[in-house]
Amino acid sequence: MNSETLNSLNDIDTNYPVPRVHDFLSRPENFAFLEYVVKDPFGCHVFPGDICGYPLAAFLDDMERDIKQANQIHLWSYIPTCRYRCHFCQYPTLILNPQATSSQAVFRDLVDYNIKEATMWLQNVPCLAQAEVGEFNIFGGTPSLLPEPELRRLMDFYQGHFNLSVATMRFEGEPGTLTKQYLRLLKELGFTKISFGAQAFNDRIISACGRMHSAEQCLDAIFNAREIGFDWVNVDLIYGMLGQNVDDVKYDIEKTLELELSHVVCTKLHMENFLKKRTSVSGERESLWQKKGLINIRNMNFPGLGKQYQMRDLIEQYLSSGYVEHPTTYFHQNHLHPEKWKGLVTDLDKQYPEVAIGLGGSSKCARAEAINVTGYRKYKAALDENRLPIEESRGVSPLQREVNAFKMALSTLVPVNDNVFGRRFDGRSFFDNPIIRSTLRTLVDKALVIIDSDVVTLTPNGVTLVEAVINTQFVTPEV
């Protein structure tokens, strides 16, 4: 372990308890975990295929087969427009002024291309037209920038060409654009869930991460959505941002409880040494914090890893009495349901296919996965040539299907039941899989999981470090 990494782990606020995972991460034998949580670029789960160079035709055949067998699917449409780029953003976006006359043509093009891609999916995977959609999401970017005529046109297409008869409808926006008028439009179009990133309820932190809305606008969006009839309002918070301390996160969580938010996402930001180098999916772009020279200005620095885990412990402590974490980083009130789209793709008794339409979308089923191109020009060029804008497709071997299913189930934080696993895999036990069996021995030795008969349960340390567990411990060679 290098001294810089250990210094970050030992960066602790003495007004709060030492984080629970500090002792575990400080041991030399657990360096792989520490290295991951320091360098982790996305703070999310990855369940990759292990067969590279997988033919696109084979991927589409696999999607057709798995969608036919699934009870439901998750369908999402990505609208990549933003009116500014957040300093932590790592996703493909188009930055534009929504009020500019020139932007109206961009919005029309985006909807045109989105509809064209969706049409090509329907042509290549015919069962999609009848597949029951469990949840339909419009993600961003900032889809709430879409002018009303373009949003209506987009929804007319999806409602006319996909089976949304029982689907719950979820829309992601940005507080500065989720006006009462826009929320009423979403309600009219059938949306029942609203999601937006507040990132914090503190204007100092909001400004430091490059956001152009205020904490007051976050509150307005919540209250207006409730007034209009949205019972489900999901707010995203981030901890570990520039200038943020443990007291700031305590304030955010106290505000969460005061607001009685039905659902809240509390995500750990990737670490400072990573942010100084890049922020994009491609890994080629400088972070805006670095590019704009904001680090170390006005005594604003990133909290070290120790403080970040103090923040995580505090979130668990404050939310434990009234909320359930399912899956990791997603909290819902005890008497309410967890995020449906997450459950559709990760819960062991489901893990249904998902189809993503739009720039940088990720579509997958048990047998294969594919990722769309992330450059808008390349995306448009593919569709102009009547090709699906897919950058890469990978297959998933039978052995890896079991590993991925187990990892996804573990990420939900729900105990993994071997009987349920057996129903998924023709009576096979997860102990029959050599990769899972070997990894479980290691995780038990490290006190990250407990095995009781046929059930695997994460320990408290395992819950906190589950992303490192699923992304570093289940090693399958690529084919």
| Residue with more model confidence, 274 or 309 | 309
| Residue with more model confidence, 57 or 43 | 57
Same domain as 215, residue 315: yes
**373 is written with which tokens?**
């191109």
What is the DSSP-derived secondary structure letter of residue 431? Answer: G
Quick check: 189 and 136 in contact, CB under 8 A? no
What's the rounded Cα separation, in Å, for the pair 444 and 458? 10
pLDDT, residue 5, reads 86
pLDDT, residue 76, reads 97
Specify the pairing of strand 368-372 against strand 390-395.
antiparallel
Same domain as 317, residue 260: yes
Same domain as 301, residue 339: yes
Q: What angle do CA 191, 197, 198 make, to 5 degrees?
A: 120
pLDDT, residue 274, reads 43
Q: Is residue 286 part of a domain?
A: yes
**CATH for 435:** 1.10.10.920
Same domain as 118, residue 11: no
User: What average pLDDT does this structure show over 64-81?
Assistant: 97
Domain boundaries, position 462: 398-473
pLDDT, residue 408, reads 95
What's the rounded Cα separation, in Å, for the pair 343 and 408? 10
Query: The dihedral of CA 448, 449, 450, 451: what is its sign?
Result: negative
Same domain as 306, residue 161: yes
Q: Is residue 411 part of a domain?
A: yes
Average pLDDT over the chain reads: 91
Same domain as 167, residue 316: yes
**CATH for 125:** 3.20.20.70
Q: Is residue 208 part of a domain?
A: yes
pLDDT in tens, 197-222: 999 999 999 998 888 999 999 999 99
User: What average pLDDT does this structure show over 378-382?
Assistant: 97
Q: Which residues, including other chains, have CB under 8 Å from residue 8's CB and lie 6 or more apart?
A: 38, 271, 272, 304, 305, 306
Same domain as 21, residue 60: no
Same domain as 77, residue 30: no
Same domain as 22, residue 153: no
Of the residues 308, 325, 346, which one is the last residue of a structural domain?
A: 346
Same domain as 139, residue 11: no
Whole-prediction pTM: 0.93
Q: Considering only CA atoms, which of 468, 474, 470, 477 is closest in space to residue 31?
A: 468
pLDDT in tens, 233-265: 999 999 998 899 999 999 999 999 999 999 999
Q: What percent of the chain has pLDDT over 70?
A: 91
pLDDT band at 294 (very low <50, low <70, confident <90, very high): low
Indicate whether 476 pLDDT > 90.
Answer: no
Size of the chain, expressed as the number of residues it contains: 479
What's the rounded Cα separation, in Å, for the pair 282 and 368? 22
Write the DSSP assignment of 246-296 as a string of letters. Answer: HHHHHHHHHHHHHHT-SEEEEEEPPPHHHHTT--STTS-SPPHHHHTT-TT
pLDDT band at 479 (very low <50, low <70, confident <90, very high): low
Indicate whether 281 pLDDT > 60.
Answer: no
Q: Is residue 353 part of a domain?
A: no
Indicate whether 276 pLDDT > 50.
Answer: no
